[in-house]
Every structure is written in C-alpha cells, then in structure tokens.
Structure 1
Amino acid sequence: MKNSLGVAIKKANNALARDTAHFAKQLGLTEMQASTINYIADHENSQDVFQRDLEHEFNIRKATASSLVTAMVAKDLLIRVPATKDARYKRLLLTPKARPLAAQIEAFFITSEQRMQRLLASNFQPTYHGLQQLSQTFTDQPTSSPSKKGLKANDN
C-alpha cells in the first residue's frame, strides 16, 4: 500500500526505538530499562509507582512487566518495597546505582523530544493529538479480521 500511515508510524517508532536502544546500550541497559528508570524517576516523588503503572504507561502485558522488573531488581536498578497502605502491593524504587543513570536518561529523552518538536514545528500539537487518538482507539477497539459476509460457497 503506497503512502501507508501505519507503515510510516512503524518506521518512525523503529527509528526512535533504535536511537534509544543505542543510547541505553552505552549505559549497559535495554531500551525498556532506560524508559522504566526515566518513568520511575519522573513519578516517584508525586506518587507510588507499581508494576501495573509500567504495564499501563508502556502498554505492555503483565508477564512482560514482571520480567522487566525482575531483571532490573537482579541488576540492582530497582527494589520492591511494600506499599504504605497495603503491604500486598510492592512499590518500585530506584536504587543508588540507578540514580545517576536517571539524570543521563532524562537528558537524553529531553534532547530527543526537542529534536522531534523542532522537526514537526507547528505540526507538533496536531500530530501529537492524532497519535494519541490512534493509540487509544486501536487499544480500546482492535481491528477485527475481515468479514466473510457476501462470500458464496462457490466464490472460492
């Protein structure tokens, strides 16, 4: 399909992911580990951060988030601490090892965001809004497979 918006979005996403992965690798991290450190650093002073928050923020499945957190705990980047209101839930906190990385990661994401905003210029807000709508719509109402209505038995 020529001029496919889906293909263009996928290519842009792949380019951004590769850029982030290249940066993260220099810190000994994966792209998702860098994004997780950034998310927790941004939110830990204003709210408790739980694994389910990572699932929601990054649109990942429970098993993926669990593997991510487990690997980050093993690398001494995160610790799990019982929540103050309900000890069954475990808050995610950055370790002293992850703190200096958080500043570098934040600087990288700020620079990346500035590059995108400069590139899109006056189209930034409409593009951002449109991408949010696409994400929400395709998450809430996934595309179903094409209907077989109208096909007759002898049309095969």
Structure 2
Amino acid sequence: MQRAIGIAIKKANNALARDSDHFAKQLGLTGMQISTINFIADHETTQDVFQRDLEQEFNIRKATASSLVTAMVTKGLLIRVAATNDARYKRLLLTPQARQLAKKIDAFFAVSERRMQALLAADFDPTYNNLIKISQTFTDQNTQPPKND
C-alpha cells in the first residue's frame, strides 16, 4: 500500500499535534489544553459549554474529557459553574488567567490555519470537505452497534 490516505492523514495529524504541543509547552500547557481554551473562548459568549461539548468537538471519550477538565480546573484555567436551567450540569468557564492565554492561543491557531490554507490554496475547500466526510463516516461507523451476520 504505497499511497495510503489513512497514513497520510495520521502523519499530518501528528505534525499538527507536535506543532501545537511545542507552542503549548511554551505556555506550560498541553496541546489539548490550548485547544480546549480556544474552543471555550470561541463559544462561551454564545452558548453554555459543557464537558460533553468537548467530547463531541474533539471526538474524545467521557473519561478523557473528565481528566482534561479536572486537570485544567486544578491548574486554575477552568471553573465549573452550575447551569442556569439545571444545577446537575456544570458549565465550563475560563478563568481570567486562561482568558489572557486565549488571545495568544487564538493568534497561534490563526497563523496555523493561514499556513494550511496557503499551502492547499485552491484545494482547500475540497480537502476540508473530504476530511469532514471521512471523520463523520468513521465516527458514525464506530458508534453503531456491530452487525450480527
């Protein structure tokens, strides 16, 4: 299998993750923590953000999201606040410390995005759409119960 798309996607993902991790390390964080800060900063003014939103956005398991949120709360980056309509659910809010970091993180991701768009140029839209299709298809496939043949 000379030109396996799965391997190419994995290599690209690893390169992007290493780039994020390198930047995050300069802030004393992990790549996943900067992605979480960026996601919450982008959404908290328009909607309540819950742990399940992180699970969906980053396609991570409940236990992984729970560990991530707990670590970020411990580090003083997030606070959990009872939802206005149901106190059983906890909204995730950025602390002032995380809000300051969010500006640097947003700038980092904006530069990364511009680099990828410039690299792909006219191929950007089809590449983006095809990656979304792959992600959705394989996610849907893994959430359906196995077939008994």
TM-score of the two chains, using structure 2 as the length reference: 0.94
Paired residue type of 2:32? M
Runs of 4 or more, structure 1, over 2 Å off, are none
How much does 1:79 deviate?
0.2
2:127 aligned residue: 127
Paired residue type of 1:139? T
1:100 aligned residue: 100
How much does 1:14 deviate?
0.3
Matched, 1:13 2:13: yes
- Taking the aligned partners of 2:13 and 2:33, their CA distance within structure 1 comes to 17
Identity of aligned residues (%): 75
User: Over the residues paired in the alignment, what is the CA RMSD in angstroms?
Assistant: 0.5
1:41 aligned residue: 41
- Taking the aligned partners of 2:112 and 2:82, their CA distance within structure 1 comes to 34
- Taking the aligned partners of 2:38 and 2:27, their CA distance within structure 1 comes to 13
Unaligned runs of 5+ in 2: 143-149
- Taking the aligned partners of 1:67 and 1:141, their CA distance within structure 2 comes to 26
Q: Report SS of the residue matched to 2:96.
A: coil
- Taking the aligned partners of 1:11 and 1:93, their CA distance within structure 2 comes to 33
- Taking the aligned partners of 2:92 and 2:111, their CA distance within structure 1 comes to 26
1:136 aligned residue: 136
Paired residue type of 1:110? A
Deviations 1:110-144 (A, max 9, x none): 000000000000000000000000000011114xx
Q: Report SS of the residue matched to 1:141.
A: helix
How much does 1:94 deviate?
0.3
Unaligned runs of 5+ in 1: 143-156
Q: Report SS of the residue matched to 2:14.
A: helix
* Residue pairs, 1:1-156, within 5 angstroms: 1-142=1-142
Aligned residues: 142
How much does 1:62 deviate?
0.1
Deviations 1:15-38 (A, max 9, x none): 000000000000000000000000
TM-score of the two chains, using structure 1 as the length reference: 0.90
